[in-house]
Structure 1
């Protein structure tokens, strides 16, 4: 079948090609509602599909951005993506989402693929393994925004939680409820992932604030698949922690699985707080105290900053780190300790 062209639409609607072009680009300033309706009806009747690639070449834009997440399984990642997609949809932009799985090799391939597709900018949760590549990108003035993580060697606009405050809120809540032996569970800390290191630092500072000694034996870190095995040794210590902070949603889930499999009562035996307000927090038994990240606001800010860069507004401004404040949602899993457990 012959492809319907813009000329066909113009002829069918009895308007000029430039008028149809203005319609397709949402420029209605000097167009009557009758003309708009006629063009719309012609497009429907002729089943006209605009050539987006050709339009992009002419306008020097692909109307597309890329988002490279470190791990799409995280609640934080999916909510941020949703906020980005909502914003882009209103601007008639498309979003290509790539899952790097914390693998620098995959991350590099995705960056190269997105740039080859000439996307207008990228929002990325950097793994930390492609510093030189990001230096080249920055040098070329290509629009990029970091989400959730920093690369000190590559100063670009970055969107992060106040991670130290998130850990401090959890420790404060535990101390308020009578706990002095507080542990922390994290994915691998040696990977230098910004939120993990900042939350550990906030944890240490909060203990110091409450005149409590940091005990390395109360820290678990490792691959998610190893968390349950490590919890067994963790809770077999002569004086095990009476409260535990799960550094993110996936470690929280592993702790809950272990507690269920081993009949560990929460919060009677072990109080629990997780960073990331998971969807099941209010219906789990007991309900779970969580530290909420303003994920939608963070995602919206990231895409707003990216669009400003794409429009050339922020390129000469010194890159900023935009920090967002966490909020504690107190539920049953961090309740005050019973006297018999003292």
Structure 2
């Protein structure tokens, strides 16, 4: 039995081979609905199965995209990856997910491995330590999208939260409730300052000043996950301890909640808490924790769409940094001070 070819489909549908090829690659920009339906009907009638390997070799495309995530533990990372994968798979592109564990050397090796696998593009939550490698990709007009973080000296398509606005929103909520002694608890900035942590720290200082509140250096905490318990003990033992805590991300918030449960610190009666990142556990904690939500799924969807555009129009896109607005998710973890 003769193996069906793309030419057989084209002849039966009354279109050119290139039109069928565009249909198979989901390039519908200049294709009428009638033509799409006719080709789809012929493919189903003939039970035509395109040779994926042959197509990849001919097009120099693998229909795979690499995702390198700085830390897969974050709520943001998980939600973004889910959205990216869903959107790319709907366009016939598979993803390879790699977790760099905040390790620049590991990230660099993943970049090399994925390029060797000839993935069509990279979506990266960067550690911030590989500007040379990324600039080489940009010079080669290789599709590259950054998520959540920026890298000094690298200009590419980037998507992240408006971090300063997120902190301002949290501080504003606490100030409206009468709080003045507000502490910020963050993970370390890192050797190369990690964008969200740096911007949230900056946003905290600006927001406190704008609110007319004294900036107390003892309330500005930047410690490792392992040291959060000791740092909370120090904060609450101060002569004037903070009445409210702003957790800079979901990992910090989780450690705060572990601590208050262990030490029987009552939220919000003894300590008001707001977390940045809309972690699921914040909604099932009693009381429900007020959070500043990142539109993580929407960010992932947009990243996938930008990647698809970069692959289709290789080298023609203008690098843009997209900032997404946060939103306040009201809980019961903020006490009103009379």
TM-score w.r.t. the length of structure 2 is 0.88
Q: Show CA shifts across 1:118-142 (max 9, x none).
A: 1111010111111111121111111
Residue-pair matches, total: 320
Partner of 2:32: none
Q: Secondary structure of the equivalent of 1:333?
A: coil
Partner of 1:66: 66
Give the drift of 1:112. Answer: 0.5
1:1-342 paired onto structure 2 within 5 Å: 10=4, 16=8, 22=20, 25=24, 30-31=38-39, 33=41, 35-40=42-47, 52-191=52-191, 192-312=193-313, 315-337=315-337, 339=338
Taking the aligned partners of 2:40 and 2:266, their CA distance within structure 1 comes to: 68
Q: Secondary structure of the equivalent of 2:102?
A: coil
Taking the aligned partners of 2:119 and 2:4, their CA distance within structure 1 comes to: 30
Q: Secondary structure of the equivalent of 1:306?
A: helix
Taking the aligned partners of 1:26 and 1:103, their CA distance within structure 2 comes to: 36
Give structure 1 regions of 4+ aligned residues with deviation exceeding 6 angstroms: 17-21
User: Gapped runs of 5+ residues in structure 2?
Assistant: 27-35
Give the drift of 1:10. Answer: 3.0
Give the drift of 1:30. Answer: 4.2
**32 and 311 in structure 1: CA distance in 2 versus 1, 3 angstrom threshold:** closer
Q: Show CA shifts across 1:207-266 (max 9, x none).
A: 011111211111222221221122111211111111000000000000000000000001
**316 and 175 in structure 1: CA distance in 2 versus 1, 3 angstrom threshold:** same
**125 and 162 in structure 1: CA distance in 2 versus 1, 3 angstrom threshold:** same
Residue 272 of structure 1 contacts residue 289 of structure 1 at CA under 8 Å; is this kept in 2? yes
Partner of 1:3: none
Residue 287 of structure 2 contacts residue 333 of structure 2 at CA under 8 Å; is this kept in 1? yes
Taking the aligned partners of 1:54 and 1:113, their CA distance within structure 2 comes to: 22
User: Gapped runs of 5+ residues in structure 1?
Assistant: 1-6, 44-49
